[in-house]
Structure 1
């Protein structure tokens, strides 16, 4: 295949490699999901709306940005390059990732926040379980539970990375925006709790498309349209991931005072909330699919500035002693038996008649070989060596297929052989081969010395060399990191993010005065409180990017059953806690506790759980289940292709009554109108058959829409009242954020050398203009000089 593929024809699903989820697309679940796949446009899609171009010098607002990354060094390195670029805009950038990368991040002059988790352990787990389905050996060894515990711990620390100083430091930090790779999992929930912008970035496809399948999916079943097969694979992989970690994520959400979300919503939060996404690969290798919206960008690979590197004498001598060698390395992959792989590689190099530099990597390849044997075979084993430097001096690269290593090889015009282990590595192997830039990928379990030898010889052919040189030439004109920074800035809510007093600061508070609302930054708010212009109680936390997550219902039956099961689960849990409270009180009693004290504690716990029982029952019967039915009925027209109007979000009692009223008016009006409009529309489109179809749709729409309207007039206000009643009991997180913001404001006011009087004068002038209807009344203020 050429470097670019036809956007009108999806790539065939690759199935020859193992290590991914086997998805039977003839299954009932897959066919059901396929029915919701949008049809490809029958015409060329309109050009995407232009985004504002924001030159670095013109950007004024300085943000606190936390970049949350889970993975190996190859996953972290692109975000270090991005962090350095964002710093040049004036932002304060923090990288939150595994502890072992502290020096890597620190050497790049970026802030570091340790999240725990062992990437070595993670890589070893992924080699044993390349897809998302764990092997029996992993289950027996307890690997899955350890991985869940690791994720649970990291979620909590990711939240701390948004609102706390780094360990050992005193300078406050509260995030104004979050950038993350999807496997960090905490990103959407942290952004929702703070009400700040989120931007996802990744090195592999994570957004549904008809043009290629999810990199972790192995598709089977040829009865569906290939484009639909590819599209559905993303939904199924996300759904399976949620099945494994959904309870962990919901527990984390509860810990930061967010509502739990159900299985119908959890797997597709990023798409539902329209989170902007930037993919860091070269469009010369994989162009942006035509069915991705404007909020998704393909910017090019992220390259950092080449590090200062002086090669050891042995590497310099080896490079000078003969023709360009090939490079072989598997980086952070943890092999079960490194000695077997070492022997295979040595044999392949000998058979191909080439010279080779082999990176020892995390598996310590070559540790058990005789140096004399290596000299005879023209092979040099090396420790860590920057690819940016080394790949300029080799002819072919053989590696595991990490996106960063793949990018570096192609950028240096090195024909590439990918030996994938897990994750997106098979995807990149397929794309490199399809572009003519290297050999077909060979999974590590199927690799032999003879196959690797043939692949090396294939890559040394002039046609392959020419193809990879063309790609390298195109990539040389790309600026992935710069474009990604542009993508990040252009997707920010520019109209609502800045402070109205200090326009180079992000707004973090909202002050209301006689109907006028003023956005204030942290330091301005502190100065105004200290200057007696307002009181702390007059300030409320401002959300520059609020997220509203609603539990989507497909129809009334599944909505009611899902809500009913959730209610029953809550009642059963509360009942168990209630019955166990006397026993728990006895177990917790200390040696000095009297019987009366233990009994009192047991009674208090029993009463608390009894209240939970009644509350869960009443909420389920009076609010949740009627709401699920109303939402399910309202969604029925979507099943036969009709758009469903938005009725707004319910956030409190007032909005509940507004939404209930709006839904009632919309439902009644649309239901009655559809009795006439649907048959007429059907008659025009398909004649008598269309008339019959339209009549059926009209009657069904009348029943579902009017029923939703009637039930919703009670359900939505009930939902709003419930949220208002619960809100005071879920204020711990908001109080914590407010405390950190206050500390940040005090620190900035003390250390940044701002003219406090100037801030006070600006505020006075702003408020006077507002009170005088917009006229310039600044001259009447006693504080204006």
Structure 2
């Protein structure tokens, strides 16, 4: 039986949002491993007194009384959405449990007329194609990834992994996945050769390539995931664990997301920036990379049931909680051994760990058998990737099985015990099964906590702490009336949800529909701009080109949703020091190349002539010398003035004033416009602050307010004027650099244009005559012949 200590973790199911989660006292958990160690359940120990934590605390929004919020689903109900038929690529990295929900999503998107390509690991090809979806292989081995995650459940790798070379292999796999994700956006179907260029991207965050692919293509991006990935005060990041500090729990929860993202970017930022360079994209500064999705307000849909975890009140309208993604139940005819086992006794307990690769499956098998027989229950045990039970023969009380659809099997069991993957957890609760979770890594501890908080199962136990006694207690708890009632209550609520349909609605609601549609064929997305005025789809453009109505040279690529990644500055001191460090880093790297590259050429020159070696040395030296000068002059003439101008412009934020946007610097022309606008506003606003601020604050707080107003006015005048003057040099310089970069780095844009043109030719060759006539008529109606 579960003892009172075990039961103390359980509370009654509820209808209100979950409470704030307190930071855990390290004395009750695994001992801390320094300032940034990892616990046995894979979470990251975070020292709240660290410099990073203290800096991030300053960025936490002020606490406010909870306000009613609207989701994009609610906001969109009042407007008629125009569903444009898109090429959608869904990028997913993970196990089968991660991929399966997106199969259901892809099938639903197809019902709305979209062409859907699911891009994931090669091993899932048959599964996806059998689901009538297009497939694109992005590489990577999910089995190897799962084994790595079991050995390193958090973000900090173990010493054993370092010694075994696991980190090098994982970084190489990430590089392969990044390349594969980009190819999935633009390459032909590998099976039938049909051209494909993505009009929109849906991705889970661990695919990492999503924002960068969307930026290169200029298309909408929508993130979807089964675990919290957006900053909230309601609960911490599932991968975070805290040292006790003086901060309140809500603040701790909020900053945990940024800290985990910072640590992730520390390990992958260099790989991502190297890959971005291959796409002709500028590198992302280390201080910008971690919070890209939130800074850019990328739409996010969480595919879990609000009956289990409601949407936090501090998530904005572009973040939705839609319900779990369930595919249509498969037509499954069970093998004879499973059918006979289920018929010949009471409903068994299901035990399985899916694609988790366990170090000692024999020990776990014996533990399961001991617990099941001690509790006098029957069990179906899934062998999974770890081959639990080996080739064990069936008996009355235990049956070891291979792959079997959970959607079918969980209708016939009394309780479930598993690793806590979101999909498996959802399927168990949907079928009203009390649930015991044995987490290994990732979001699994989070789901274990949520199930226990709802009363539908005992508190989760990390796999390294699992014993036969704990299993006995867990099985006993799952058969209590309270656990059954809690699981049934969640199941009843989930029955009213349609997570996949709601997610598709959320996706449509966040599309930039007005600027996305072709002006001649409104049900198709625009891919081109004709003479800077008319938006044309691939099909419309190629019909007009191939009928000699327009000239191909007048077409330019159209970005339906451009992404501008800017470096947020907080004050002139940190901004200029950051820019200075970046300049020095670039100069140092180039100077190091002046020494190392010649040595490398000499060392590897055994099979080359002396003249060839000398030529390579001279070329490498000239290249590094040029880079050194470029970093120096760009840093002094452009980067430092730009950082200072932006830093001074941000100063009013320090005393609570909103800073007016000045537009994006995309080239020399927009650089001049921003400089002129910034100078006019900066000088005028700065001068007015000297008089307006003292008057406004004196009305609020009297004499003390007047003094404060004088201080604010003086600071505002100084900072805004300085920003205005520096901006006359900084913004045009930044614009010129971007224009030069666009001219020098055009390979990717030319490749995208070629791919879109090829796809348009394919579509035009098979277009119906009525579509061709419609294009001609509407083009003439716009005043063109």
Q: Which bin holds the TM-score, normalised by the shorter protein?
A: over 0.9
- Unaligned 5+ runs, structure 2: 1-10, 30-39
Which stretch shifts more, 314-323 or 699-708? 699-708
Cα deviation 1:140-162 (Å, max 9, x = unaligned): 11111111111011101110000
Which stretch shifts more, 523-532 or 274-283? 523-532
Question: Which residue does the alignment assign to 1:537?
Answer: 553
Cα deviation 1:115-150 (Å, max 9, x = unaligned): 111111111111111110111111111111111111
Q: CA deviation at 1:591?
A: 5.7
**Residue 721 in 1 paired to residue 736 in 2?**
yes
CA distance in 1, matches of 2:587, 2:199: 39
Does the 8 Å contact 1:174/1:741 carry over to 2?
yes
Does the 8 Å contact 2:570/2:651 carry over to 1?
yes
CA distance in 1, matches of 2:481, 2:263: 44
1:68 to 91, 114, 134: 91
Does the 8 Å contact 1:26/1:221 carry over to 2?
no
Aligned residues between the structures: 761
User: Cα–Cα, structure 1 residues 128 and 442, in superposed 2: closer, same or farther, change >3 Å?
Assistant: same
User: Cα–Cα, structure 1 residues 511 and 2, in superposed 2: closer, same or farther, change >3 Å?
Assistant: farther
Segments ≥4 residues shifted beyond 6 Å: 587-590
**Residue 734 in 1 paired to residue 749 in 2?**
yes
* Matched residue SS, 2:219: coil
* Matched residue SS, 1:738: helix
User: Cα–Cα, structure 1 residues 45 and 695, in superposed 2: closer, same or farther, change >3 Å?
Assistant: farther
CA distance in 2, matches of 1:542, 1:250: 25
1:375 to 395, 411, 415: 395
Question: Which residue does the alignment assign to 2:568?
Answer: 552
Q: CA deviation at 1:680?
A: 3.4
* Matched residue SS, 2:196: coil
Which stretch shifts more, 667-676 or 80-89? 667-676
CA distance in 2, matches of 1:43, 1:604: 63
CA distance in 1, matches of 2:78, 2:92: 26
CA distance in 1, matches of 2:703, 2:234: 38
Question: Which residue does the alignment assign to 1:776?
Answer: none
Cα deviation 1:243-283 (Å, max 9, x = unaligned): 01011111111110111111221011111111000000000
CA distance in 2, matches of 1:167, 1:44: 50
Question: Which residue does the alignment assign to 1:269?
Answer: 292
Structure 1 residues 5-44: aligned runs within 5 Å: 6-7=16-17, 9-13=19-23, 16=29, 18-42=41-65, 44=67
CA distance in 2, matches of 1:134, 1:560: 34
- Unaligned 5+ runs, structure 1: 772-780
Cα deviation 1:33-53 (Å, max 9, x = unaligned): 112211232253455574334
**Residue 751 in 1 paired to residue 778 in 2?**
no
Cα deviation 1:404-430 (Å, max 9, x = unaligned): 000000000000001111100000000
CA distance in 1, matches of 2:730, 2:627: 21
Question: Which residue does the alignment assign to 1:51?
Answer: 75
CA distance in 2, matches of 1:122, 1:227: 33
User: Cα–Cα, structure 1 residues 338 and 46, in superposed 2: closer, same or farther, change >3 Å?
Assistant: closer
Does the 8 Å contact 2:90/2:118 carry over to 1?
yes
Cα deviation 1:650-709 (Å, max 9, x = unaligned): 000010011112222222222222223333333344444444333333222222221111
Does the 8 Å contact 1:324/1:395 carry over to 2?
yes
Does the 8 Å contact 2:41/2:439 carry over to 1?
no
CA distance in 1, matches of 2:183, 2:78: 31
2:357 to 322, 331, 334: 334
Q: CA deviation at 1:98?
A: 0.5
* Matched residue SS, 1:417: strand
* Matched residue SS, 2:88: strand
Does the 8 Å contact 1:326/1:355 carry over to 2?
yes
* Matched residue SS, 1:365: coil
Does the 8 Å contact 1:324/1:355 carry over to 2?
yes
User: Cα–Cα, structure 1 residues 46 and 18, in superposed 2: closer, same or farther, change >3 Å?
Assistant: closer
Does the 8 Å contact 1:66/1:93 carry over to 2?
yes
* Matched residue SS, 1:495: helix
Question: Which residue does the alignment assign to 1:81?
Answer: 104
Cα deviation 1:23-75 (Å, max 9, x = unaligned): 1223332122112211232253455574334999x855211000000000000
CA distance in 2, matches of 1:222, 1:616: 42
Question: Which residue does the alignment assign to 1:425?
Answer: 444
2:653 to 606, 630, 638: 638
Q: CA deviation at 1:465?
A: 0.9
Question: Which residue does the alignment assign to 1:669?
Answer: 684
**Residue 448 in 1 paired to residue 467 in 2?**
yes
Cα deviation 1:279-324 (Å, max 9, x = unaligned): 0000000000000000001000000011111111111111111111
Q: TM-score, normalised by structure 1?
A: 0.93
* Matched residue SS, 2:261: helix
Q: CA deviation at 1:380?
A: 0.6
Cα deviation 1:371-397 (Å, max 9, x = unaligned): 3xx626x11110001000100010110
CA distance in 1, matches of 2:775, 2:477: 72
**Residue 200 in 1 paired to residue 223 in 2?**
yes
* Matched residue SS, 2:765: helix
Question: Which residue does the alignment assign to 1:501?
Answer: 520
CA distance in 1, matches of 2:168, 2:78: 46
Does the 8 Å contact 2:69/2:316 carry over to 1?
no
User: Cα–Cα, structure 1 residues 307 and 698, in superposed 2: closer, same or farther, change >3 Å?
Assistant: same
CA distance in 2, matches of 1:265, 1:519: 33
Structure 1 residues 370-769: aligned runs within 5 Å: 371=393, 375=395, 378-512=397-531, 517-579=533-595, 582=598, 595=611, 599-755=614-770, 757-759=772-774, 761-768=776-783
Q: TM-score, normalised by structure 2?
A: 0.93
1:183 to 175, 185, 206: 206
Question: Which residue does the alignment assign to 1:95?
Answer: 118
User: Cα–Cα, structure 1 residues 677 and 185, in superposed 2: closer, same or farther, change >3 Å?
Assistant: same
Q: CA deviation at 1:335?
A: 0.5
Q: CA deviation at 1:4?
A: 4.4
Q: CA deviation at 1:200?
A: 0.1
CA distance in 1, matches of 2:479, 2:679: 70
Question: Which residue does the alignment assign to 1:774?
Answer: none
Q: CA deviation at 1:6?
A: 4.7
CA distance in 1, matches of 2:347, 2:771: 64
User: Cα–Cα, structure 1 residues 677 and 48, in superposed 2: closer, same or farther, change >3 Å?
Assistant: farther
CA distance in 2, matches of 1:366, 1:754: 63
Q: CA deviation at 1:756?
A: 6.8
Does the 8 Å contact 1:531/1:760 carry over to 2?
no
Which stretch shifts more, 2-11 or 625-634? 2-11
CA distance in 1, matches of 2:277, 2:655: 36
Does the 8 Å contact 2:416/2:436 carry over to 1?
yes
